[in-house]
């Protein structure tokens, strides 16, 4: 992924194009992650607001919120949202074992406990 290679602004622009062309919530969440990594906190907060708005109308996986909070490096909320995803048996939860987005949490006792609880 571009953002993981240091091209965060380019990644955010491409993710914004994806969000503009589809209503896929996962693209919005990944955009939120990239914006958070880039330190664009106000824009990241707007993504969280949009996710909350969507969640009021339709199902939004806790994974989506976890991605955005991971970009903000908000460990407690990220871990809590990942725990919720596991409890819901989200098929996306298994990716936390290998997704580099969550590398920053490896070694954290709460995160490691979640990894051991995966189905």
| pLDDT value of position 47 | 96
Question: According to the model, what pLDDT value does residue 1 have?
Answer: 58
Distance CA 99, CA 13 (A): 21
For 24, other C-beta atoms within 10 Å of its C-beta total 11
Is the pLDDT assigned to residue 119 strictly greater than 60? no
User: What tens digit of pLDDT does each residue of 79-118 get?
Assistant: 999 999 999 998 888 888 888 899 999 999 999 999 988 8
More confident residue, 77 or 94: 77
pLDDT band at 63 (very low <50, low <70, confident <90, very high): very high
Q: How many CA atoms lie within 13 A of 95 on its CB side?
A: 11
> 72: which DSSP letter?
T
Q: Is the dihedral of CA 35, 58, 22, 63 positive or negative?
A: positive
* pTM across the whole model: 0.84
Residue 67 φ/ψ region, left for φ over 0, alpha for ψ in the -120 to 50 degree band, beta for the rest: alpha
Note whether 65 and 81 are within 8 A (CB).
yes
pLDDT given at position 103: 92
Residue range 1-54, pLDDT digits in tens: 544 555 567 767 767 666 667 888 988 999 999 999 999 999 999 999 999 999
d(CA 26, CA 10): 18
Query: H/E element holding 47?
Result: helix 41-57
């Amino acid at each position: 992924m571009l953002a993981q290679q240091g091209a965060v602004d380019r990644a955010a622009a491409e993710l914004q194009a994806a969000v503009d062309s589809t209503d896929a919530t996962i693209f919005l969440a990944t955009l939120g992650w990239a914006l958070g990594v880039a330190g664009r906190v106000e824009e990241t907060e707007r993504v969280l607001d949009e996710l909350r708005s969507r969640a009021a109308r339709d199902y939004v996986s806790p994974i989506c919120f976890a991605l955005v909070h991971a970009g903000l490096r908000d460990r407690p909320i990220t871990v809590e949202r990942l725990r919720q995803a596991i409890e819901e048996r989200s098929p996306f939860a298994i990716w936390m074992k290998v997704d580099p987005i969550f590398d920053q949490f490896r070694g954290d006792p709460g995160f490691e406990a979640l990894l051991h609880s995966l189905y």
